[in-house]
Structures are given as C-alpha cells and as structure tokens.
Structure 1
Amino acid sequence: MIKGISLFANVGIAETYLRDVGVDIVIANEMLEERAKFYKHLYPSCKMITGDITNKIIFEQIIKESEEQNVEFILATPPCQGMSLAGSKDPDDERNYLIIWVVKAIKRLKPKYALIENVTQQLKTQIRVKGKSIGIPDYIKAELGVDYNINKDQILNTKYYGVPQQRKRAIILLARKDTNKLWEFPPKEKKIVTLEEAIGDLPSLDPEVREKEYRNFFPAFEKKKRKGLAVSKWHFPPKHVWRNVEVMMHTPTGCSARKNPVYFPKKPDGTMVGGAPRTYMRMDWEKPAPTVTRYNSTISSFQNVHPGRKIEGTNLYSDARVLTILELLRITTLPDDWNIPEWASIPLIRDVIGEGIPPLAVKKIVKQLDIK
C-alpha cells in the first residue's frame, strides 16, 4: 500500500475503490467547502485541506502535509468547465491553468505515480506559459518528461471497462522512470454493460409533476413510489413540469421528443423550442448510458431521460423522468449504499455525481501498476 493525495478532490468519487488496488488517499484538497465537508464524511481518516490551490498558503500546506506523509501517488482532476463541450470552451478560462499547479506539485513531491484526468478537449487546449502558447500535453511533457514515463494513448472511454456509461476522458498517466514501469490503460474489455443490465431490475417510477392539476395522469404514483423506496431511499421520483413530462410520455426508448409529430417541446406560439438534437431524449436500454453531466436533473439537457417501456394497450411510455440518484449511482459504478451524508441537498448530490469520473475505471487503471 502506498499513500496518495487527491487534488481538486470533489467529494472523492474517483478514489472510491483505490484502497482495493494499493493506494491509500491520506490527503485531499478541495476548494468548495460544501464538497470538502462531503468528502470528510466519506473519508473521515483523510486529511482534508480546504481552499484554493493557487493560494500560496494552501499550496504550501498541501506540499508540507504530503511530504510528512511520504505521498507517492497524486490523483488530480482539475475543473474542466473552461474546456468542456458542455461548458464555456473559453481558451482564457483561468481553470485551464490549474494544470500548472498540478505540475508544480508533482515537481515538488516527486511521487512515483500521478494520474491527471480531464475532458478530452484538454489534449487540444493551449495555455500561455512564459509568454508563449503551448498545448497542455506538450507542457506536461516539457516539464515532467525527463523524470517520468508518460502514457501514449491518452483518451479512455469508460464503457470499455465495465462501466454502463459512455464517458470519454483525457487521462495522463505518469510513472517515475526509476520505477521501470510504463503505465498504460488496460486492454479494452469485450463485454459492454448496458442500461438494461445496470438498472433494468429497478422498479418503474412515475415523475412527480410540479403542477397538482396534472397529477391525476399517474394514479399509481404513490404505489410505485413506495416500491422504489422499498429498494432504496435514493430511488424516488424526480420532479418535473408537466409540459416536459407530457412530451416524454409520447417519446419511445432511444428517441428524442423533437421527432414527435404532435407532442414535441413547444414555445408558447406552438413552434419547437431551440436546442441540440439530443435534448428531450430518452436513453437506450441496449446501450450504456450517455455521459452523465451536472445537468442530469433536467429533461431538456443531453439525453437525460430514463429509457422507459411501452405501456401495454397504449401509445405511451413509462418513466417520463430523468434518472433517480440510485440509477445514477449504478451507471457511475458507485455502490448502491454509497454513504451520502444526510445533510446533502439533492442538487449537490446530482452535481458531484455528474462531475465525477466512474471509479471502477480508475480502479482498473491503477490496478495495472500492481502495487504491493
């Protein structure tokens, strides 16, 4: 077992199974207090340093604590909103420059191994260093390539590693040269886990319609809700407005309500609302889920809606809703009994899951190191 640090830790999703493969995260850093509190609830024995890594006092505390603990592994997942297709894609976003602080930490601590994870756009993002523009991968190679072996293939899709979610990520793996290890991704697995396999056993749920006058469309709502809660406190109906529920009731599995001839998302004047083709779209039972984002509570966002099933004797489809938190846990490969703190709000829980990398994929990557 070696000791590690998690930078930009979120609530610790990525490190969920790291102890199983020889890495004990003993220090973590997270800027947002609410997430740091969540992290401490999940990992009470880990030293959490709450604050901005770009603050010199915080950075030096990170280095000092890591040196004292003899940290040999760095896990770094800096915020991606400046690069993400779902974000601003602003080349001058200050969050793009957080990679510099990761590199500084690696140079100071000289760990045996480091895993840097972000959106795939990171591999094409330019930053300005000493007045010159340089791509992030080239910057990492220039700063660390002398002392570290760096993996060649740097884009990983989690669906090839037992994760029922298609999530492409840029992952840069560093192994200090004196370890004599070339750290690469494990071979892709032939078996792809589908949504049917991941969540198909869970009870069907009707959405909780915000407008009371439309709730009579779901006479079995309470009965279904009780069945869901009997499975887990986190399998309960999401809330939606009727106009979104109605169009999804008429939308088949794997399809977008935008393709419906009558029941499509409308503006007050009856014309279709704007948006991308994959919005107001149901998932497909026979495929992994699409990438979960922090907007996973919204029907109108990218392919967020439960696959549903044809209701016998009608042209309607069940489960006109987004996924429950339990369903999100499963497609993220978090355990059903993930120790969510009682005080955490539903928006916070959905946000942190949407921003976390599936931990089963991280476990399989780190297992390649065969740490004793």
Structure 2
Amino acid sequence: MGKLRGLSLFANVGVAEAYFEELGIDICIANEIDFDRARFYQDIYKNTNMICGDITDDAVRDKIIKESIEKNVDFIIATPPCQGMSEAGLRLEFDPRNQLVTYAIDVIKHIKPKFVLLENVPKQLTTKIKYGDRIVLIPEYIKAELGQEYNFNKETLVMAKDYGVPQLRERNIFLLVRKDLPYIWEFPKKQKEITLREAIGDLPSLDPYLREGMNLTLTKFPQFEEKRKAALEVSKWHYPPTHSWKQVEWMMHTPTGKSAIYNEKFYPQKADGTPIKAHHNHYRRLKWDMPCRTITQNNGVISSLACVHPGRPYKNACGDILYSDARVLTIYELLIVMSLPLNWPIPEWATETFIRKVIGEGIPSRLVREIMNSLLIQL
C-alpha cells in the first residue's frame, strides 16, 4: 500500500497533522469553518486543498465528499469541537456542537475510507445526542452507523502523557479499519512519562511584562531585559507574556504546584480586599515533577485552569521567599508541551491570543504520530 491519502475534518490549524508529512501521510483535503483557522492551516500545509465552510451546509459537505472521492482519499481524521462536552465548558444538555459528529459520520459513509481516526474528550462516551426520534449516547450512534462496515479499537481512552508528550491530556479516540482489510489498529505500547522539568526545565527564566507599562516592569523586575534577550536567543516564541501587576504579585507568593487562592495574604482579591471566588485549579502553578496539566484554549490567562509556570523559589532583599516566572507558559513552552515541532511555521500574522487558542484546542501532535505509526508499520 502506498501513501495514505487523507481528509481532515474540523481541521483547526492542523496541530494533529504536524508530523504527517514525515510519516508519509498526504492530507489532500481539509475542512474548517473558521476563516482565520483555515488561513493558518493553508499557510502551513500549502499542498492541502483547504475547503473553508460549514460542514452542516449540504453544498459544502457535498464538495468535501466529491473532491475526496476524486482524490482517492482512504483515510479520514475527524476532530469535532469538544466545547459542548469539555470539563472546562458549560456542558449544556444537547449542545448543538455535540451533533456535529453526525456530519462527520455522513462524510465517512459516503467516502468509505479504509481507515478513520475520530477524536474527542472522554466525556463523549457519556454524552447523548438526538438520533432520529431517539436519544442515544454518541458511541452508540457511531457504532450503529459504522459498525457494519468497520472494526473498532477495543480501548478508546488514551492519555497523551503515555506517548512521549509532556502533558496529561486524556482523550477518547476511535480507530476504525474497514472490515475488508486484514489490519488491527490499537494504541501502541506506552512510553516513559516526561515531566515538565525534563521538558522545559532548562529554558531561560522569564519575568512577565506588566500591563501597566515598561516603567513598572523594570521597577519590579530589574533583570527583565536581560532575561528577555536570553530567552529570545532560544526562540522568537520564548518571549514574556503580559499580565497585570496584581495577578503577578499573587503568583510571586504562590509556591510551585499550589494555587494562589490558598495564600494567607497575597490571594486573588477585588479592589476592596474581598476574596475572588475561584476553582481550586485557578491561579495555580504547574508542578515540575509530573507532566503538564491539560492545556486549554484560555492558556494565556493566569486565572485560568492550572497554566502558570512552576517557578523557582528565591529570596528578595527583605529575605522573603518568592517564586520566579510569575506568568503563563510562553508560546515556545506550549509548543513543547503540545509536542509540536519547534520549527512549526506559525504564520507571522497570527496574534498571540489566536495562537494560544488554536494550540490549546489541538490534539498533541506526537500522540497522533504514535497512533498513526502503529497503523503504518502494518502497511
């Protein structure tokens, strides 16, 4: 069998596909509804035909199907939006986004590829959707629609940390092989975990840039420029994130692996001193000696879920113990914990907020590479 010829549905910016060319997988066609994401994808994967449009639109879906058949697509990767099911989301019952998987299944049934990778959050296993006049679990729906034509993998829950990715990130992934083929597609053997210390511990320390301006930044962090220059020698993407002084001060008093909400004095508070109500994983520093917690789309905000650099203890002039790197991970550090290639050609026009969001919504690249390779070695 020659190169796999693929279709990527709900393609985002192609985080999952980062190693496909290296593996010999040719993604011929991709579909993404958002113009900026489609543009980002096309800038990186110039040989892919990006169809920007809404897959729920019959005309768009017909175009995807027609061109995929013409290009002899034999592999489909589909990653429908997970926000309706994510632990970090509102999880509304019958969120319309949860129904988007049905359009992916429709495409699969028309193209009849040899192999399919369907990815989503673990909550997909217990999420219900409308199926005709019935309410069914998503896995039940998928198997009812495709079970006659495809064999499924036995275990579907997978942790990115088990496949060389320095991040926890649990996912539910269905691996489908058409029944007329002799292959068995399961997850490969687990690999050694990589801690955050092993992944980013050797990178230069960085002080945050304070939203209040450079004067206050240099007053609070006299070594700011020196550190910034040293970091930029590593990568242009290893630059200081911007935060407000009040949040930075709270995190400077927060130990590695702890949340600022438990600080006795420097805790998240309103202007009048009233404590800010927060989840125990908000305003939390990551831990050095375990993989990074799951990266979310809101990874640039200190108050979001466990996204602050672990930091290192030091003493100030008064002898107080503080913690360095009172900031979120840089984009360069995100590339590492998402296992993206460090030379991944991020378009210059993309804003930091946009880059962080689309990376946070992606599947760790190395996880997909290892899963795909477990199939390719059979072919």
Contact 1:23/1:73 (CA < 8 Å) preserved in 2?
no
**TM-score where L is the length of structure 1:** 0.98
Matches within 5 A, 1:191-340: 191-212=192-213, 214-215=216-217, 216-312=219-315, 314-340=320-346
Shift of 1:50: 0.5
CA contact 2:261–2:278 (8 Å) conserved in 1: no
Counterparts of 2:90 and 2:54 in 1: how far apart (Å)?
21
CA distance in 1, matches of 2:120, 2:173: 7
Q: String of CA shifts for 1:269-289, please: whole Å, max 9, x gaps.
A: 323211100111100111110
Is contact 1:158-1:167 (8 Å) kept? yes
1: CA distance between counterparts of 2:76 and 2:364? 17
- 1:314 deviates by 4.1
Q: Distance in 1 between matches of 2:134 and 2:181?
A: 33
Counterpart contact for 2:183–2:378, Cα < 8 Å: no
Identity of aligned residues (%): 53
2:63 to 61, 68, 71: 61
Equivalent position of 1:349 in the other structure: 355
Of residues 71, 81, 95 in structure 1, which corresponds to 2:97?
95
Q: CA deviation at 1:74?
A: 0.2
Distance 1:318 1:65 in 2: 53
- Residues 46-195 of structure 1 correspond to what in structure 2 (within 5 A)? 46-189=48-191, 191-195=192-196
* 1:22, distance to aligned residue in structure 2 (A): 3.7
1:362 aligns with 2:331: no
AA partner of residue 299 (structure 1): I
For 1:174 and 1:167, locate their aligned partners in 2 and report how far apart those are by CA, in whole Å. Answer: 22
> Over aligned residue pairs, what C-alpha RMSD do you find?
1.1
After superposition, give the CA deviation of every residue in 1:168-224 in whole Å (9 maximum; x if it has no partner): 0111111111112221111222x1101111111111000101113632110010111
The letter of the residue matching 1:87 is: G
Q: Secondary structure at the match of 2:151?
A: strand
Distance 1:23 1:104 in 2: 23
User: Does the Cα contact within 8 Å between 1:247 and 1:264 map onto a contact in 2?
Assistant: yes
Q: Which amino acid aligns with 1:125?
A: T
Structure 1 SS opposite 2:322: coil
Between 1:261-270 and 1:358-367, the stretch displaced more is 261-270
Deviations, residues 9-62 of structure 1 (Å, cap 9, x unaligned): 001010111233342111000000000000000000100000000101100000
What residue number does 1:38 align with?
40
Alpha-carbon separation, structure 1, partners of 2:371 and 2:21? 13
Which secondary structure does the structure 2 equivalent of 1:296 belong to? coil
Whole-Å Cα distance in 1 between the matches of residues 48 and 128 of structure 2?
Answer: 34
Q: Which runs of 5+ in 1 are unaligned?
A: none
Give the 3 Å change call, closer, same or farther, for CA 294–345 of structure 1 in structure 2: same
Q: Is the 8 A contact 1:22 1:371 kept in 2?
A: no
Opposite residue 239 of structure 1, the aligned amino acid is: T
- Number of equivalences: 371
Deviations 1:56-90 (A, max 9, x none): 11000000110010000000001111111111201
Code of the aligned partner of 1:321: R
Distance in structure 1 (CA, Å) of the matches to 2:140 and 2:24: 30
| Aligned partner of residue 179 in structure 1, secondary structure | coil
Give structure 2 stretches of 5+ with no counterpart: none
Between the aligned partners of 1:88 and 1:17, the Cα distance in structure 2 is: 33
Report the alpha carbon displacement of residue 245 of structure 1 after superposing the two structures with TM.
0.2
**CA-to-aligned-CA distance 1:67-122 (integer Å, 9 cap, x gap):** 01000000000111111111120122111011111111111111010001011111
Contact between 1:83 and 1:91, CA under 8 Å: does it hold in 2? no
Q: Structure 2 vs 1, CA of residues 21 and 371 (structure 1 numbering), >3 Å: closer, same or farther?
A: farther
Amino acid at match of 1:250: H
**Aligned equivalents of 2:21, 2:224: Cα separation in 1:** 41
Q: Which amino acid aligns with 2:336?
A: R
1:298 match: secondary structure:
coil
Greater shift after overlay, 71-80 or 307-316? 307-316
| Cα distance in 2 between the residues matched to 1:4 and 1:149 | 19
In the TM superposition, residue 307 of structure 1 has moved relative to its aligned partner by: 0.5
